[in-house]
């Protein structure tokens, strides 16, 4: 199976490569148009800033390529956000696979939080999933914990297949046709994350 990780100007891509190698997959890290197009599975991960990253993708035609892929595609963290329609980060038009906006978390001070402490941004650390559905989850993952690091979020919408609560309820994962996406990092989420990656690779 030919698994490609899209290489672009984003951080954290290597952690996905290491995560796949732990599963016995030898992925190809590339920004080559034909190599990506011919892959069996494509993974679009990353940590970074939306506007400069979209400029990078557009300059190389990668935004159009990703939009038109027919094989299973998994976006992770920034990858998920860039697969949406628009991001408040840098007032950015994104790829538009998911017809959802990306919004910035607004911190909640202690006097507005019933628990009496700051809900800070970024949302960082372990949080649980609920309302899981779709092809990369099953009911055994309801309530399981996964690892997040993000300051922007996708509201719950028609393509939401898992939700998480932090400051408000947001989409932990999305699915539309052959496109899948997680706001959390499956490669950093232990056995639960491995199970999600395995289910994606088995599609």
For 157, the 3-state DSSP assignment is coil
For 107, the 3-state DSSP assignment is coil
Cis amide prior to 122 (ω within 30 degrees):
yes
Write out the two tokens for 76. Answer: 């992770």
3-state percent breakdown (helix, strand, coil) of the chain, nearest 5: 30, 30, 40
Number of neighbouring beta carbons within 10 Å of residue 144:
20
Task: Give me the catalytic one of 34, 165, 185, 194.
Answer: 185
Of 116, 129, 137, the residue nearest 170 (C-alpha): 129
Alpha carbon distance 77, 80 (integer Å): 5
Told to judge if 84 belongs to the known catalytic residues of this protein, a careful annotator would answer: no
For residues 69, 161, 103, 50, the Cα torsion angle rounded to the nearest 10 degrees is: -30
Told to judge if 94 belongs to the known catalytic residues of this protein, a careful annotator would answer: no
Task: Give me the catalytic one of 77, 84, 89, 144.
Answer: 77
Alpha carbon distance 197, 200 (integer Å): 5
Contact indicator for 73, 179 with CB cutoff of 8 Å: yes
Told to judge if 77 belongs to the known catalytic residues of this protein, a careful annotator would answer: yes
Task: Give me the catalytic one of 130, 165, 187, 194.
Answer: 187
Catalytic positions are 77, 185, 187
């Amino acid at each position: 199976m030919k698994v490609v990780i899209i290489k672009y100007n984003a951080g954290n891509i290597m952690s996905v490569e290491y995560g796949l190698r732990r599963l016995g997959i030898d992925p190809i890290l590339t920004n080559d148009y034909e190599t990506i197009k011919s892959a069996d599975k494509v993974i679009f991960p990353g940590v970074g800033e939306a506007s400069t990253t979209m400029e990078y993708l557009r300059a190389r035609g990668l935004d159009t390529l990703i939009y038109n892929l027919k094989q299973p595609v998994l976006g992770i963290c920034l990858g998920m956000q860039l697969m949406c329609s628009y991001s408040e980060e840098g007032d950015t038009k994104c790829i538009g696979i998911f017809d959802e906006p990306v919004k910035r978390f607004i911190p909640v001070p202690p006097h507005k939080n019933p628990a009496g402490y700051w809900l800070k941004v970024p949302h960082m650390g372990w949080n649980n999933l609920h309302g899981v559905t779709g092809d990369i989850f099953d009911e055994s993952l309801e309530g399981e914990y996964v690892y997040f690091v993000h300051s922007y979020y996708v509201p719950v919408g028609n393509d939401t297949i898992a939700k998480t609560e932090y400051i408000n309820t947001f989409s932990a994962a999305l699915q539309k046709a052959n496109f899948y996406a997680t706001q959390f990092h499956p490669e950093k989420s232990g056995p639960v994350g491995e199970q999600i990656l395995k289910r994606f690779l088995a599609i």
